[in-house]
Amino acid sequence: MIKSVALTAPPNYEDAMKFTKDFASFLQELGLKVFLERNVAERLNLQTLAIDLSEVEDLDLLIVAGGDGSILYACNQLTNSSIPILAIDFSRKKVGFMTEIKPENAKDTIEQILAGNYSIELRDKITAKLNDKLRLPDALNEIVITSSKPLGVATPMLHLKVQIDNTIVADTYLDALIASTTTGSTAHSLSAGGPIITPSLNAFIIKCVNPLELPYRVPFVVPTSSNINVTIYEPTAQIVMDGRSFDKEIRPGDVLNIFKSENAVKFIRLEGITDFYERVFKKLTVSKIGEE
């Protein structure tokens, strides 16, 4: 039974902040114990409701009012992976793939959830170990390996070797390597020419970005149980997880072992809401004849 709820939203997005304030009051009227992520609470001058997502343990539901970026932020801050997430669509670019409901349907939705009319969808996270010692934070979308040098005309290409289950599948110079989850298949991997994969598959995408050799431009789709190792030859590299840079430079000779995290993200799903394929079609179709 859901008794406690936390809300978060982009503090600099006025529409999402107004919704969050109003919806928090609505949830309190329903008798729920309500909290606000600390940055949101401070922006709304409701510090008595503030909590840190990285420290919260006893919570029944997290509501994210935002787009995919806000969801990634919440997932990466939330250390307790057992807390389910309800995503309310405030995507400013209208291309959010993870959001579940529209703001105008939020009140009806929460009443359905309180009545138990919902299901939980698990989404895999990806992680890695550096030199079989240092565990990296989890990522919901992807891990990107790129040059540690600033982007520019003189930015050197990376020389990497990629092994899957002890078989070399790439040894080349490239701009970056993306290791993506199925959730991340509609993010940077897609922009780099990767495939869209339904979240129901237990798979990762390994995508070389702008490799010198043509054959390496084709992405690999591999089981999440695969043993994936990336060796950095030259020059130094950096690792970016869901847009967050890992604060350790990766040096030549370092090996990154990429694997499925034991922590999955739980999303609230409702019956009758657009399924994955329909959502992708709508988001990727910019315009249609006869529609504005």
In whole angstroms, give the CA distance from residue 93 to residue 95: 6
**Dihedral angle sign, alpha carbons of residues 18, 23, 29, 34:** negative
CB 256 within 8 A of CB 250: yes
In whole angstroms, give the CA distance from residue 102 to residue 99: 8
Three-state secondary structure call for residue 14: helix
In whole angstroms, give the CA distance from residue 26 to residue 277: 33
Catalytic-role residue among 52, 68, 165, 242: 68
CB 4 within 8 A of CB 114: no
DSSP string, 22-42: HHHHHHHHTT-EEEEEHHHHH
22 in catalytic set: no
Entry field: residues in the chain: 292
Burial of 33-52, coded b for 16+ CB within 10 Å and e otherwise, reads ebbbbbbbbebbebeebbbe
Edge-to-edge strands, sheet with 228-234: 134-135, 126-130, 255-260, 228-234, 158-164, 167-174
Edge-to-edge strands, sheet with 85-89: 50-51, 33-37, 4-8, 61-66, 85-89, 265-269, 119-123
Annotated active-site positions, please? 68
